[in-house]
Copies of this chain bind each other. A is one copy, B any other.
Amino acid sequence: MERINRWRSHGGWQEVWRHDSAETGTPMEFSIFLPDGDGPMPVLWFLSGLTCSWANVTEKGEFRAACAEHGVILIAPDTSPRGDGVPDDPEGAYDFGLGAGFYVDATEQPWATNYRMRSYIETELPALVAAHFPVDMARQGITGHSMGGHGALTIGLRTPERFRSVSAIAPICAPSDCPWGRKALGQYLGPDRAAWADYDACRLIDAGARLPALKVDQGAADGFLETQLMPERLKAACDAASQPLELTMHEGYDHSYYFISSVLPAQIAWHAQYLNS
């Protein structure tokens, strides 16, 4: 583990770290915001969307003031393995391969060797974080945007004992049934849809997975709303399962960081209710 940058910001330190990942077989980077104080502090994971690295939310997310106010550490991992030896979409598409790991453990070649973002986020990175920072791993929350919202929902639903609170911003809710999801899951996991069930929030809820606290914010003017995100599918699955869901539609807001930065501070305050109680 090597700290490659840090900046004083909003009464804390915004840091960036690099380490060699056994899961992905590559160097991986993540950012971590550490409010002042002795800790241990609760931790909120932010999983980013297509094309992003740790940098996007770290530069544009406007989360530090809320994290400092509530005493919450925020960690932003990368969205895929990267490097010369890592295979990418043959045509360099933005929605598959580099920057588009979809938080799965790939089973198909040539992806299976490096694209192990599920195990990286669920197991390897939390162990590293617990060993190096003043975090209280008994108080974790998770959120994310778009593909990262899909990651937050599915990781939360598979390991609910790990998280006190799960939220998402404009998440991909039913990846088995949208173009982004079918393309990615089909290539990473093969064509059998049965293999996708662990990576689909709606199917996990249909199969009995439950969360103690679940909140979703969605822009009503998001250009991906109907074709890729489909929050109405998540709502229907939660209603059928009596899974509480706080779904808020935000009139006029789109899919960009102008929306993310508008709702992330309130999401942090929401998580803090659970993380600091």
Contact = CB atoms under 8 A, between A and B. Distances in A.
A258 B254 CA distance: 25
A254 to B, nearest CB: 6
Given A59-B60, A65-B265, A254 B10 contact: no
Interface of A: 7-11, 14, 59-60, 62, 64-65, 219, 221, 250-254, 256-259, 261-262, 265
A111 B258 CA distance: 36
A65 B256 CA distance: 16
A64 B258 CA distance: 10
Nearest to A250: B8
Give the one of A9, A64, A251, A257 with max B CB within 10 A. A9
The binding surface of chain A is classed by DSSP as mixed
A20 B121 CA distance: 50
B59 A254 contact: no
Given A65-B265, A265-B65, A9 B258 contact: yes
A60 B59 CA distance: 6
A9 to B, nearest CB: 4
A221 B265 CA distance: 27
Contacts of A10: 261-262
Contacts of A250: 8
A8 B258 contact: yes
B9 A259 contact: yes
A266 to B, nearest CB: 10
A8 B59 contact: no
A36 to B, nearest CB: 10
Given A11-B262, A59-B60, A62-B65, 19 more contacts: A7-B254, A7-B256, A7-B259, A8-B221, A8-B250, A8-B251, A8-B252, A8-B254, A8-B258, A8-B262, A9-B253, A9-B258, A9-B261, A9-B262, A10-B261, A10-B262, A60-B60, A62-B261, A64-B261
A259 B8 contact: yes
Give the one of A254, A261, A262 with max B CB within 10 A. A262
A256 B80 CA distance: 27
